[in-house]
Amino acid sequence: MLKSVLKSLIFVLLFALFMSCGSQQKVEPTDPTPVESQVVDTEDLNTLTDEEKAEGWTLLFDGKSFEGWRGLGREGIPEGHWIIEDGTIKKVPSADVPLLEDGQPLEGGDLITIQTFDNFEFVLEWKISPAGNSGIKYNVSEEMSNAHPPEYAALGFEYQILDNEGHPDALVSDSHTAAALYDLIAPEGKSLKPVGEFNTARIIFNRNHGEHWLNGVKVLEYDLDTPEMDTLIAASKYKNITDFAKRRNGHIVLQDHTDAVWFRNIKIRTIEP
């Protein structure tokens, strides 16, 4: 009888141990911080290395203020449309801009460098919103821009910024896609990062020669005062703008195209003769 009870007890204990071991699940290692909530240390942004300083680079954005910038045709920044966010200059989506007391929207417009530039190499990082559209303009005359509609929008060569997959402008022409010389020359061999990630734009504008780079790859180049460029201008939206392609000591502009876009690590260096 005692042996029978002991056997039953041992069986129950072994069964319980088996069930306990079998119910344990393998736990995979996890990142304690979800990817979407990880934050870039803004202290690493909008700075120059010693090597860059020695090469003559200058920051155009300190990561904290709009010093060196203003609205095109304005003395200040278009209220409600542009903000500093996490070490970036952000264009607030026009649909999210506060309204005036009478219910009318605050008027937006492009951002323009107070300083003008002649022969230069320019670099920044940009990130576009889903189905977003924006641009970087250069060789910009404020006087010419103010003389043509729409108001507060710059006229100049444009490095296109676009969500190629989500914005319909990409279907109009390859010269409307990201990194293009807008409405003039399509980019080739580009490697565009997904929407939500930062891309690096580089613009070289030296004498009559221009280049667009995207993420370390040269995607187009051109020369002013050539039959080829004259033909491109004549077939573009700029054909009726006198002296549009004239070389000048011009402003650099961040475009307000109503969509959200972010800019950071904005720097420039003069190309000496």
Distance in angstroms (rounded) separating the CA atoms of residues 134 and 91: 9
* Lowest-pLDDT range of 41-45, 180-184, 188-192, 216-220: 41-45
46-270 folds as: Jelly Rolls (2.60.120)
Q: Which residues pair with 95 in a beta bridge?
A: none
pLDDT per residue over 16-30, tens digit each? Answer: 443 444 433 333 333
The pLDDT score that the predictor gives to residue 7 is: 47
* pLDDT score recorded for residue 96: 93
CB 130 within 8 A of CB 138: no
Structure tokens at 182: 């807008």
Between 18 and 70, whose confidence is greater? 70
Instruction: Write out pLDDT tens, residues 119-155.
Output: 999 999 999 999 999 999 999 999 999 999 999 999 9
Which pLDDT band holds residue 12 (cuts at 50, 70, 90)?
Answer: very low
Cα 175 to Cα 159, 220, 228: the distances in Å are 10, 11, 15
- Would you tell me how many other CB atoms lie within 10 Å of the CB of residue 96? 9
The whole model's pTM is what? 0.84
- Identify whether the C-beta of residue 108 lies closer than 8 Å to the C-beta of residue 152: yes
Alpha carbon distances (Å) from 269 to 57, 205, 249: 4, 11, 14
- For 180, what's the count of Cα atoms within 13 Å in the CB-facing half-sphere? 20
User: Band of the pLDDT at 1, cuts 50, 70, 90?
Assistant: very low
What's the pLDDT score for residue 21? 41
**27-69 pLDDT per residue, tens:** 333 333 333 333 456 678 999 999 999 999 999 999 999 999 9
Does the pLDDT of residue 84 top 80, yes or no?
Answer: yes
pLDDT band at residue 105 using 50, 70 and 90 as cut-offs: confident
Average pLDDT over all residues of the chain: 88
Q: Which of 28-37, 64-73, 154-163, 254-263 has the lowest mean pLDDT?
A: 28-37
